[in-house]
């Protein structure tokens, strides 16, 4: 196919893979989008205009070579498309599913500016790699030779796993420590199956294990093993622990039974999907079945909570957010999915307090958007006298996450943190204030995205390789 046979956006409309109808979606935790049929993927990829300066690529945190793999897909050369796609992305099928493409690659696709729908980059990236798995093109890591140096990675989320992949490919001995029983971090226990089915994540972890990465699970660094012991064991350490301290609401009644944290709620639900026994779910504490559910927050986590509650059989699901729809941080695509599934968004509303020892209502105050604050965002202001009670049997707080106090928890006061509590590290090398210790992902940048954690993990791995290569060169002199 020539370049001219691309550019099909003029005659072919943007067409996402089919979405299951909302009433069927509500019955299970399976993904909501079907796969592209081969022909449809080709036709959609051929809509790309093969820009000389591809803004999609520059706005992808991994700088994926999008135009090339679109062209190869349009030509039916899928294995080559896969090779190019995986060269810059450790988990293309995961990013294709859960990146907020509207804010990244697709949000910057030029054909949208000419009045046409963007190329469906994410769906095609997912299609290419899902096909690669089916065809057996995804192979475990097989390093050319083994090295004696070892790296300890704390945290088996996307940041830690991306680094493990790069290091292991170079023959480095890699041990990943995680306090959970399964690897994957938020890919496994945060993000629900309707956005990312769990076998997609488990398949990757299995491949890493087959490629020689050692996983030490149920190992809470700071409790089961000390940080200083890890420093003595490994040539370098990468901290990729994510951010898990939930922000709270200083409102009266917030301690009522039935007011729960989003991370606990989502983890319980994900564990149920794995078939685990989860007492807090089975006793109803973290189960929305038959309840009036109110979720507080407007980010991705809140969207995942409302849609999980729908699937658990809540009688009603409302989302309170203190700003309006245009100013919410969550992806508009996810808001649309939630609305289709019957979630009611109550914009410009904030909780003032909670009623009942066992929750029975949320005191809601209405807000309006006032003058912009220092960040340029319009600050919400209370409309006096507008309060009302919203009945609720389960309230889920999804107000964001902050870092745990690692220097104190790990007894390493020399590990410098920023004023937000994230680990202070160079944004290119990811080196921290401690020699041989690096940091990546949410614990360095604050709650962010999977694709940024992957990028950080790759960069940190490259810097660690530089460090151990230099040390090896000095030793050889």
Q: Give burial (CB, 10 Å; 0-12/13-18/19+) of 2.
A: exposed
Binding residue for ligand FAD, selected from 74, 99, 163, 317, defined by CB under 6 A: 99
Q: Give burial (CB, 10 Å; 0-12/13-18/19+) of 52.
A: exposed
Q: For tokens 């059989």, what's the residue?
A: 313
Q: Which is nearer to ligand FAD, 239 or 314 (CB)?
A: 239
Residue 193 contact, options ligand SF4, ligand FAD, none, Cβ 5-8 Å cut-off depending on partner type: none
CA distance 425 to 108: 29
Binding residue for ligand SF4, selected from 54, 160, 193, 212, defined by CB under 6 A: 54
153 bridge partner residues: 176, 238
141 forms part of the interface with ligand FAD (CB under 6 A): no
- Stretch (H or E) spanning 137: none
Q: How far is the CB of 99 from ligand FAD (least distance, A)?
A: 6
Of 278, 255, 270, 280, nearest in space to 395 by CA:
255
Which residues between 55 and 74 bind ligand SF4 (CB under 6 A)?
55-56, 60, 62, 64, 66-67
Q: How far is the CB of 210 from ligand FAD (least distance, A)?
A: 20
Site string (383-402) toward ligand SF4, x via CB under 6 A: --------------------
Q: For tokens 């804010």, what's the residue?
A: 103
Binding residue for ligand SF4, selected from 12, 16, 43, 110, defined by CB under 6 A: 110
Q: Quick one: which segment of 18-26, 121-129, 173-181, 362-370 binds ligand FAD (CB under 6 A)? A: 173-181
Q: Which is nearer to ligand SF4, 84 or 451 (CB)?
A: 451
Q: Which is nearer to ligand FAD, 171 or 222 (CB)?
A: 222
Instruction: Provide DSSP, 292-359.
Output: EEEEE--SHHHHHHHHHHHHHT-SEEEEE-SS-GGG-SS-HHHHHHHHHTTPEEE-SEEEEEEETTBT
CA distance 213 to 291: 43
Site string (255-284) toward ligand FAD, x via CB under 6 A: -----------x------------------
Q: Judging by DSSP bridges, how do beta strands 437-439 and 150-154 pair with one another? A: unpaired
Q: Quick one: which segment of 109-117, 203-211, 249-257, 333-341 binds ligand SF4 (CB under 6 A)? A: 109-117
160 forms part of the interface with ligand FAD (CB under 6 A): yes
Tokens of 233: 């064991």
Q: Which is nearer to ligand SF4, 9 or 410 (CB)?
A: 9
Q: Which 8-state DSSP code applies to residue 257?
A: B
Of 114, 134, 137, nearest in space to 36 by CA:
134
Q: Which 8-state DSSP code applies to residue 175?
A: E
105 forms part of the interface with ligand SF4 (CB under 6 A): yes
49 forms part of the interface with ligand SF4 (CB under 6 A): yes
By CB under 6 A, name the binding residues for ligand FAD: 98-99, 154-160, 177-180, 185-186, 190-191, 195, 220-222, 240-242, 266, 300-301, 304, 441-442, 448-451, 453
By CB under 6 A, name the binding residues for ligand SF4: 48-51, 54-56, 60, 62, 64, 66-67, 89, 95-96, 99, 101, 104-105, 109-111, 119, 121-122, 125, 451
């Amino acid at each position: 196919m020539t370049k001219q046979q691309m550019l099909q956006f003029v005659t072919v409309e943007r067409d996402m893979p089919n979405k299951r109808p909302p009433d069927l979606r509500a019955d299970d935790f399976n993904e909501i989008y079907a796969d592209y049929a081969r022909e449809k993927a080709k036709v959609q990829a051929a809509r790309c205009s093969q820009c000389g300066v591809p803004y999609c690529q520059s706005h992808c945190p991994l700088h994926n070579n999008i135009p090339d793999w679109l062209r190869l897909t349009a030509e039916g050369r899928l294995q080559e498309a896969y090779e190019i796609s995986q060269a810059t992305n450790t988990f293309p099928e995961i990013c294709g599913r859960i990146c907020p493409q509207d804010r990244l690659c697709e949000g910057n696709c030029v054909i949208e500016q000419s009045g046409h729908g963007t190329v469906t980059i994410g769906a095609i990236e997912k299609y290419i790699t899902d096909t690669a798995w089916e065809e057996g093109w995804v192979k475990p890591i097989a390093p050319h030779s083994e090295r004696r140096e070892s790296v300890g990675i704390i945290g088996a989320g996307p940041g830690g796993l991306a680094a493990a992949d790069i290091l292991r490919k170079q023959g480095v001995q890699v041990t990943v420590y995680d306090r959970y029983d399964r690897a994957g971090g938020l890919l496994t226990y945060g993000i629900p199956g309707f956005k990312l089915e769990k076998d997609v994540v488990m398949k990757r972890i299995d491949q890493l294990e087959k490629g020689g990465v050692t996983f030490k699970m149920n190992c809470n660094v700071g409790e089961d093993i000390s940080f200083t012991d890890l420093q003595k064991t490994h040539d370098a350490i990468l901290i990729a622990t994510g951010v898990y301290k939930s922000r709270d609401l200083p409102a009266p009644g917030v301690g009522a039974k039935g007011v729960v944290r989003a991370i606990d709620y989502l983890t319980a639900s994900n564990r149920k999907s794995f078939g685990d026994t989860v007492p807090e779910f089975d006793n109803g504490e973290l189960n929305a079945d038959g309840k009036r559910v109110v979720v507080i927050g407007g980010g991705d986590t809140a969207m995942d909570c409302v849609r999980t509650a729908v699937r658990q059989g809540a009688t009603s699901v409302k989302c309170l957010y203190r700003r309006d729809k245009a100013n919410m941080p969550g992806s508009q695509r996810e808001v649309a999915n939630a609305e289709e599934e019957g979630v009611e968004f109550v914009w410009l509303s904030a909780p003032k307090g909670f009623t009942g020892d066992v929750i029975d209502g949320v005191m809601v105050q209405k807000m309006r958007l006032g003058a912009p604050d220092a960040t340029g965002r319009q600050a919400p202001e209370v409309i006096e006298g507008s309060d009302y009670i919203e009945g609720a049997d389960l309230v889920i707080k999804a107000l964001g996450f902050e870092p745990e106090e690692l220097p104190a928890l790990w007894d390493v006061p020399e590990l410098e943190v920023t004023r937000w509590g994230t680990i202070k590290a160079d944004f290119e090398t990811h080196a921290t204030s401690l020699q041989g210790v690096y940091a990546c992902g949410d614990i360095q940048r604050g709650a962010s995205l999977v694709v940024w954690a992957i990028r950080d993990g790759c960069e940190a791995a490259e810097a660690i390789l530089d460090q151990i290569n230099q040390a090896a060169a000095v030793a050889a002199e």
